[in-house]
Amino acid sequence: MEAADARRLRDMAADFHERAEEFVEVFYRHLFAFENTAKFLQAPETVTRLKEMQRRHLESMLEADWNDAYFEQRRQVGHVHADVGIEPQYFLGAYNLYLKYSFARLAEKHPHDIEAYKADAVSLLKAVLLDIGLTLEAYFAQSTINLRQALDMFWQANAELRQFAQLTSHDLKTPLATVANLCDEALDEFGDQMPEAAKQLIAAARDRTFRMSRSIDELLASTLPDENEPYQAVSSQEALEEALETARPLLNAGEVEVSIVGDLPLVLGSKARLREAFTNILSNAAKFIDRRPGKLMIEAKDREGQCVIAFADNGPGIPAEELNRLFGPFRRLPRHRDRPGSGLGLYFTKSLIVQQGGKIWAESTLGQGSTFCIQLLRAQ
């Protein structure tokens, strides 16, 4: 910035001072048009205070007094924006709006003197770019600090979560082992006196407790995985069969008939995660297919070295505008809000699939049904 720039900016200051209120009103009408910025402007007293700060901020830029206090004030703006979560595109948009407004005023001031217009415009642009540079520098510096703090909190929470999960799994497995032992004792002590059907039921209960214990171990490993652990070749067919066994009571209650076209292949991933993802999709089908009988067809297809496992139903379908939002947390279709559920099932399903390097999406036609597709790397 040169002395001539400072002189031109100070000459503009008087004109801007007369029009400052007009610009600030235009600017805030612009902010209220966007949801992400309007949410910061709920309280009238806050808006009044911010308008005054905005007016003063722009006036001080034209005063061209580039001292330490000026630089610190601009950096403080960047820090505040980073702390409250106002992303750079919004305050860059503010400067863009200001330049458009100011260039129009300069054109009115120099209607026949293009050289004077260019000189004023260049000086103003220099001042704005200086402001942007100082603000962005501070914004990204503060964001880096915030990110480091967030990462520290994440790793601390992750360590605490691991400890909690390990303790919880122990607390869950202990009573399961007790139940299994009681089943064995009952068979050993009274097996000869029991009807064959009763022995079979007790043996089934014992086997189920062992299976639940193994599932706890698998879920613990899949929920808190070793990031350096390579993907394993797992049978998606076996994962599906175990998921079907878990979801069978719901599917029967909903009168949903499941058909599997061919065999499902080996894929790279985690059997426990895959089983849980399949179970969630099967449970959703049982819950939301509204036809009797409901039909769910499962089929695997090759796609350029990857495997796509498709779950196609004959349910009510999903509106096109909802498809991209299905996998967000707490997302529920308006017509399903009277049904029990947290709105987290598909969110967790997506997380389980992404953890295996895969993708999940939905395709649907209203009135004809939906297809949920899971894409995973095929094991060689």
User: Phi/psi at 42 (nearest 5 deg)?
Assistant: -80, -40
Residue 21 vs residues 8, 28, 56, 58: alpha-carbon distances, Å: 21, 11, 11, 11
Give percent helix, percent strand, percent coil of the chain, each to the nearest 5.
65, 15, 20
CATH of the domain at 285: 3.30.565.10
Task: State whether 181 and 238 are in the same domain.
Answer: no
| Spatial CB neighbours of 364, under 8 Å, sequence gap ≥ 6 | 317, 318, 319, 320, 323, 370, 371
Task: State whether 220 and 240 are in the same domain.
Answer: no
Q: Which of 201, 224, 247 delimits the end of a domain?
A: 224
Low-confidence ranges of the chain (pLDDT < 70): 1, 30-31, 33-42, 84-86, 90, 154-155, 157-171, 173, 214-230, 329-343
Strands (E) across the chain are located at: 232-235, 256-261, 266-269, 294-303, 306-313, 359-365, 369-377
Q: What is the pLDDT of residue 338?
A: 53
Q: DSSP characters for 126-177?
A: HHHHHHHHHHHHHHHHHHHHHHHHHHHHHHHHHHHHHHHHHHHHHHHHHHHH
Task: State whether 243 and 220 are in the same domain.
Answer: no
Task: State whether 93 and 151 are in the same domain.
Answer: yes
Task: State whether 288 and 322 are in the same domain.
Answer: yes
Q: Which of 224, 254, 274 delimits the end of a domain?
A: 224
- Residue 1, CB half-sphere, CA atoms under 13 Å: how many? 22
CATH of the domain at 139: 1.10.490.10
Task: State whether 286 and 180 are in the same domain.
Answer: no
Distance CA(41)–CA(47), nearest Å, equals 6
In b/e form, how buried is each residue of 76-89, taking b as 16+ CB within 10 angstroms? ebbbebbeeebebe
Tokens at residue 188, please?
């050993």
* Arithmetic mean of pLDDT over the chain: 80
For the chain, the residue count is 380
Residue 270: CB atoms within 10 A of its CB come to 23
Task: State whether 220 and 236 are in the same domain.
Answer: no
Q: Which of 224, 242, 266 delimits the end of a domain?
A: 224
Domain count, the chain: 2
User: Phi/psi at 359 (nearest 5 deg)?
Assistant: -135, 155
Short-list 112, 102, 93, CA closest to 59: 102
Q: What is the pLDDT of residue 178?
A: 83
Residue-range definition of the domain harbouring residue 326: 232-377
| Spatial CB neighbours of 221, under 8 Å, sequence gap ≥ 6 | 270, 272
In degrees to the nearest 10, what's the CA dihedral of 107, 109, 111, 116?
-90
Task: State whether 333 and 313 are in the same domain.
Answer: yes
Task: State whether 215 and 241 are in the same domain.
Answer: no
Distance CA(367)–CA(68), nearest Å, equals 66
Task: State whether 215 and 342 are in the same domain.
Answer: no
Q: What is the pLDDT of residue 241?
A: 93
Q: With 0-12 CB in 10 A as exposed, 13-18 as middle and 19+ as buried, what is 35?
A: exposed
Condensed to tens digits (0 to 9), the pLDDT of residues 93-131 reads: 777 777 877 888 888 888 888 888 888 888 888 888 888
Q: DSSP characters for 239-283?
A: HHHHHHHHHHHHHHHTTEEEEEES---EEEE-HHHHHHHHHHHHH
Distance of CA 352 to the CA centre of its chain: 14
Distance CA(293)–CA(321), nearest Å, equals 28
- The structure's pTM equals 0.47
Task: State whether 215 and 254 are in the same domain.
Answer: no
Task: State whether 52 and 84 are in the same domain.
Answer: yes
